[in-house]
Structure 1
Amino acid sequence: MSSDTRKPSLLWAVFTFIVPVAIILYGTVVVAVRPPVLPLLVAVVVAGAMCLRIGYSWEELQEGMLSAVGRIQIAVAILMLVGMIIAAWMASGTIPTIIYWGLKLIAPNHFLVSTIILCAVASLATGTSFGTMGTIGVALLGVGTAMGYDPAWTVGAIVSGAYFGDKMSPVSDSTNIAAAVCEVPLFTHIASMLWTTLPALVVSIIGYAILGSMHTGTAESVGNINTILTTLEGSFSLSPVALIPPVLMIVLAYKRLPVLPVMVVCVVSALAIALFEGVSVVNLAKFLTTGYKAATPSPELNKLLSCGGLMSIMATTLLLTCGMAFGGILEKARVLEVLLDAILRGATSAVSLVGATVAAAYIILFGTGSQMLAVVVPGRAFGESFRRAGIEQVVLSRTCEDAGTLGCPLVPWSVHAFYILGVLGVSATDYMPYAFLNYLVPVFSMACAITGIGIMRTTPKNA
């Protein structure tokens, strides 16, 4: 029988999904393997063996894995460029300048609120959560560390802000794709998302304000900040010229230039500034490859500023490859298709349809780790069901983003979680409790479905 028509039973699909996911969770959460390459490899082997058991050939499963791995080519290219951007922005003084003014201007108790707002604005302008976290996010993490904040708190606020913009920006890939897949005008789609995203943003800001009020700056942290400011002043020029690369990034991204050329411009502009400041070509080449090596009088600051480079993303690339191979097996063996069919069965009301869309997005995220699939697959699969129930497609497009876009960084083996781990150095299991916006938006999505608020209706198709 051809694999195009062969499907596993629902029981076997559930079993094939749960067992490998349990292995990954055990390895990442309980055993705390870092980086969690081994749990992912074991999950790939177990999932493959279970799919071989129901009649799929090794060649078919290999085809599924290779196809899935092929989807992360752009993500890997972005990762490589972000690694170089971090190193170049360190050498040019861009990130030290942002850290300096962040320490000077942001009150410690308001730091987390400032972080989510700054990241939301930057991501809204650029449409990229990756770019925001890999540039401004790195600088803000340095500010938070100097203020004595737990990195998990800081990264949670960075993630919340970055994904607000990624979801709401008219220049975001996920926003445009969700609108296109569900055949909804772009700005109608964005307006609909305000129903769930704005309340979640307000609650998140309140949450970060409460966390900030719990952070009491000690004399040691105040002294640490003063030392860092003095050291930065003596080690870098801190000229406004150093802010040219991030300004270029925002302007070019807002003009909807492709992300890779924009990142190349960010690297080149920073390198030009570094050369002008007297950094040698040889050192720049080393920084871009193995990461920036700070040489200030402060060992603590050197540890904070020494980062980036192409080699810094190698572990993340390996994790991405393993995660996508796992998802490719589940896709090829139609495990996810069977699970989605079961979820959608009998869903006719707003509550059941929105709930089914949220559940489907999370199943795809847990199965494949891909944000784009979690947005596209439910958008395609559930459109007719929403029409029959008399619910406008804009509710479907909104819900796909509520769960698919914002849920991705909460799945520890997703593409986005591995990216965050590689760039900011904090795992999903650590920052997840503090990424308020990412898990509050689906809550408001369900609240809208239950109350009927923000649920746009049309004439049922079968009426």
Structure 2
Amino acid sequence: MLIIFKVPLAPALGVNLLLSGLVGILIQDLDFRSVIHAMTFGYIALPGENTTEIGMMFNRGGIISFSNIIGLIFLASAWASVLQHIGILEFLLNKLSYLKILKHKVRLTGYLISILTSVTTCAIIPAIFIPSAWLKERYASAGWQVEHLSQDMIEGSFAAASLVPWSNFNFLVLGTLGVGAFATVPYNIFAPLLIFSVIMKECFK
């Protein structure tokens, strides 16, 4: 409901924590100290459940146990800022956009740039915003709407980020489920299929 009413992220997370605490106290019969402990250190399965796969998957969460993943996400974002500040991203964007094979193929250029930026910056958000600001006028001059630019940036960056182990997307999966990219990529058939199908469609337009 909060997402539907476009509630900002911080208040939505606060309401989620409050409601989760109330459910733990009123329904699961936990005391206030146990709720705060779970929010801080995460869920800890019972001794007999720790050996099961489901128990090991649920045996995580909390602010403290997630701090190393948050650190990795901050480092990935900082790396993206460094690449943008020293001009490497602009250099790569220029080189890619002037390839002969991409001439008059604005959407294919945007899609490939979003993939390249996602892989090199390790972060999804810079892979969307940095190329978008650079490609906005090119899309408009080619007759495409802002919605097409957003679609290309989001699809390309998310699909690429799910396939590389060093992206902040996979950091979140690792911290939440304890499963790394090398374990999930063999089952992630939709991301490479999406990338391949979009590139083929744009190449033969």
Verify same fold: TM over 0.5: yes
TM-score normalised to the size of structure 1? 0.40
Larger radius of gyration: 1
Counterpart of 1:433 (choices 186, 190, 198) is 186
Cα distance in 1 for residues equivalent to 2:139 and 2:103: 8
Please name the residue that 2:150 is paired with: 397
CA deviation map 1:223-244 (0-9, x unaligned): xxxxxxxxxxxxxxxxxxxxxx
Aligned residues: 199
2: distance between equivalents of 1:335 and 1:252?
Answer: 39
> Alpha carbon RMSD of aligned pairs, Å?
2.4
1:91-129 Cα offsets, whole Å, 9 max, x none, are: xxxxxxxxxxxxxxxxxxxxxxxxxxxxxxxxxxxxxxx
Q: Aligned-pair distance for 1:403?
A: 0.5
CA distance in 2, matches of 1:305, 1:375: 32
The match for 1:273 is: 23
Flag the 1:323–1:340 CA change in 2: closer, same or farther, 3 A.
same
Which structure has the highest helix share of the two? 1
Which TM-score applies when normalising by structure 2?
Answer: 0.83
From 286, 297, 308, the equivalent of 2:37 is 286
Structure 1 CA distance for aligned equivalents of residues 179 and 13 of structure 2 = 23
Within 5 Å, give how 1:61-460 maps onto structure 2: 251-276=1-26, 277-295=28-46, 298-301=49-52, 302-345=55-98, 346=100, 347-350=102-105, 353-388=106-141, 390-393=142-145, 394-452=147-205
The one-letter code sitting in structure 1 at the alignment partner of 2:151 is R
Distance 1:333 1:343 in 2: 18
CA distance in 1, matches of 2:50, 2:128: 45
Q: Please, which runs of 5 or more residues in structure 2 have no aligned partner?
A: none
The residue type equivalent to 2:73 in the other structure is: L
CA–CA distance in structure 1, aligned partners of residues 139 and 188 of structure 2: 30
| Cα distance change, pair 383–327 in 1 and its aligned pair in 2 (3 A) | closer
Q: Which amino acid aligns with 2:83?
A: L
- In structure 1, the residue corresponding to 2:66 is in which secondary structure? helix
Letter in 2 for 1:429: F
Report if the CA contact (8 A) 1:348-1:385 is conserved.
no
8 Å Cα contact 2:118/2:124 also seen in 1: yes
Question: Which runs of no fewer than 5 residues in structure 1 stay unpaired?
Answer: 1-250, 453-463
Maintained 8 Å contact 1:336/1:363: no
Q: Structure 2: which amino acid aligns with 1:369?
A: C
Alpha-carbon distance in structure 2 between the residues aligned to 1:396 and 1:285: 43
Q: Report deviation, 1:274.
A: 1.4
8 Å CA contact 2:57, 2:178 repeated in 1: no
Cα distance change, pair 299–428 in 1 and its aligned pair in 2 (3 A): closer
Deviation at 1:344, TM superposition (A): 0.8
Supply the distance in 1 between the matched residues of 2:130 and 2:159 (Cα, whole angstroms): 16
Q: Identify the structure with bigger relative contact order (alpha carbons < 8 Å, sequence gap 6+).
A: 1
